[in-house]
């Protein structure tokens, strides 16, 4: 049963006085996400998905272009540039994560033979970033948002430091450069502007 007072926790709009009774939209939670690496390393990269600690979402910046005119300037958007994505992985005792990361670096450059790949397409991979609703087990997770990053490669790999004073897990930091990113909202997750319809009901804070 909905608690009537929760519908008041929002911002009233001057153009629509009924908005105050609609309730606040449920936010996406930053710890509910999943990363999938496609064509990463020499084998399946499913173990990387399980060992991800945190990652950044894509950031795009348009280069500012200027046209000089009589008494002023005109600005317009130039070519877009995507910033690298930072991914932090937990290293595991079976060395599966280390092996996968090493395989990907080796695809980009053979350090023993000092030989590089003939073309970038030989080593580039696709990174899928999905925001989830928290479902697990019998309640299958619903994908709320997907970022598909194309033309990815490892710009840098940092195996971090070891420290007798630290009691946390050993980590591997990746900086992933990519060519393009596409954001999609699955139709089965995104409903009306005031709610997100899932199998467990309408996901609004006022419900």
> For position 5, what pLDDT does the model report?
73
Q: What is the largest CA-CA distance in the chain?
A: 70
Domain ranges of the chain: 21-202
Q: Are 162 and 170 in contact (CB under 8 A)?
A: yes
Beta-strand (E) ranges in the chain? 33-38, 52-55, 60-68, 73-82, 85-90, 109-110, 115-116, 125-132, 143-158, 171-177, 180-184, 197-198, 201-202
Dihedral of CA 198/187/133/143: which sign? positive
Which of 131, 127, 126 shows the shortest CA–CA distance to 146?
A: 131
Map tokens 């690298």 to a residue: 84
**Mean pLDDT across 118-124:** 91
The tens digit of pLDDT for each residue in 141-198 reads: 999 999 999 999 999 999 999 999 999 999 999 999 999 999 998 755 444 333 333 3
- Residue 204 confidence class, pLDDT cut points 50, 70, 90: very low
Which of 74, 71, 152 shows the shortest CA–CA distance to 108?
A: 152
Which of 82, 86, 85, 153 shows the shortest CA–CA distance to 119?
A: 153
> Does residue 131 carry a pLDDT above 50?
yes
Which comes out higher in pLDDT, residue 43 or 70?
A: 70
Q: What is the pTM of this model?
A: 0.81
CA distance 195 to 206: 10
> For position 10, what pLDDT does the model report?
76
> For position 187, what pLDDT does the model report?
57
- Provide the CATH number for the domain formed by 21-202 in this structure: 2.30.110.20
CA distance 18 to 10: 11
CA distance 164 to 135: 38
The tens digit of pLDDT for each residue in 16-55 reads: 665 556 677 888 999 999 999 999 988 778 889 999 999 9
Cα 204 to Cα 27, 136, 207, distances in angstroms: 9, 20, 5
**Among the residues of 15-161, which ranges form H helices?**
46-51, 96-108
- Residue 206 confidence class, pLDDT cut points 50, 70, 90: very low
Residues of the chain above pLDDT 70, percent: 83
- Residue 15 confidence class, pLDDT cut points 50, 70, 90: low
Which comes out higher in pLDDT, residue 91 or 197?
A: 91
Residue 146 pairs in a beta bridge with: 130, 184
């Amino acid at each position: 049963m909905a608690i009537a007072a929760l519908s008041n926790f929002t911002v009233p709009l001057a153009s629509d006085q009924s908005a105050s009774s609609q309730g606040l939209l449920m936010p996406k939670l930053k710890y509910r996400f999943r990363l999938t690496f496609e064509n990463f390393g020499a084998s399946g990269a499913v173990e990387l998905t399980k060992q991800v600690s945190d990652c950044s979402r894509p950031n795009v910046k348009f280069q500012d272009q200027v046209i000089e005119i009589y008494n002023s300037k005109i600005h317009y958007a130039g070519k877009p540039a995507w910033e690298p994505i930072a991914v932090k992985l937990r290293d595991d005792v079976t060395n599966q994560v280390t092996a996968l990361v090493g395989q990907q670096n080796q695809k980009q450059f053979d350090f023993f033979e000092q030989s590089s790949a003939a073309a970038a397409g030989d080593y580039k991979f696709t990174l899928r970033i999905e925001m989830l609703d928290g479902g697990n087990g019998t309640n299958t997770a619903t994908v709320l948002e997907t970022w598909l990053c194309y033309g990815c490669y490892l710009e840098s790999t940092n195996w971090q430091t070891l420290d007798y004073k630290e009691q946390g897990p050993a980590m591997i930091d990746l900086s992933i450069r990519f060519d393009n990113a596409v954001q999609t909202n699955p139709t089965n997750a995104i409903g009306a502007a005031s709610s997100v319809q899932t199998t467990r009901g309408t996901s609004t804070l006022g419900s």
